[in-house]
Structure 1
Amino acid sequence: MEKTWIRFLLPDDEYKRRTILVYFAEAAILQLIAVLTLIVISQFDFIPMDGVVVLIGMLFGTIAYVWIRYILSGMEFAEIMTAKAYRRERKLIIIKSTSFLVIMCASIASFDVFGMMSVPLIEGLIVSFIAALLLFLTNYVSLKRSYWKNRELID
């Protein structure tokens, strides 16, 4: 593995590691363009900007860019090449997402019962549902893209 301080973020598979490094580099260039654009915009006072909000937005944008590129790349499920393996993995994704939802809802309900929640129960449950839905969608899209990509490689 390369001698880099971000090696804890990178997978052991060489292809995945190099591809993710490319995604990080792309995100860094986009971030540089965004910073330069914000510098120009801030000189003309078109849009009042709070520095903390801009930095958090750029951090979220960078992470989201790498995450979305990774999901859409189709390299997460490299071993899924047959329809049977695809269906099996799809069932596992549904089970994992459902168990995540159940565990989160149970945790939030127990926090509410013991009075440790500062928000209404329904809001906690909605956040749990949204998180489980995002988990399912990201894994499902990644699985579907991986399956299509692997099928193309076989044909």
Structure 2
Amino acid sequence: MRRRRFPPIFVPAIILLVIVLLLFGIGSWLFSSDRNAEEMVEDFYTYEADGDFSRSWELLHPFMQERFAKTAYMQDRTHVFIGHFGAETFTYTISEAEQVDNWKMDEGHEPFETAYKYLVTQHYKGKYGAFHFQQEVYVVEYKGAWRIVWDYNL
């Protein structure tokens, strides 16, 4: 006669524990702050690359929207990137997030408790050849949503 080493409930309990840990890990990864912030940067630059500057403007923090009226922003982006550079679109790369605490976009605003900083490199091919444009982009939370902010500190 064979003896069982573990009670019959032990194996299903271990399997359930593994499943719960996997789901928790995947959920934490999917809903982590820096991942959601990175998705905001991805959305913003996808709109920019598509020339959909109206939609990208909507993803700017209200502090940024105060700096640029929507129509002016759309005209400037079109004029600079398409008009001057002669590039109809671009590709981009986004660095890993760096969390920055108590970051200020400029001296005129209060610091954000938490910001995620990314280095975005836009890759263009235009009438002046291939070139790359880099910008530090910050993502901060505003009323429960992530928004894009640029650095105006010197």
Same topology, TM > 0.5: no
Greater strand share, 1 or 2? 2
Where is the helix percentage greater, Structure 1 or Structure 2?
1
Scaled to the shorter chain, the TM-score interval is under 0.3
Structure with the greater alpha carbon radius of gyration: 2
Structure with greater contact order relative to length (CA < 8 Å, sep ≥ 6):
1
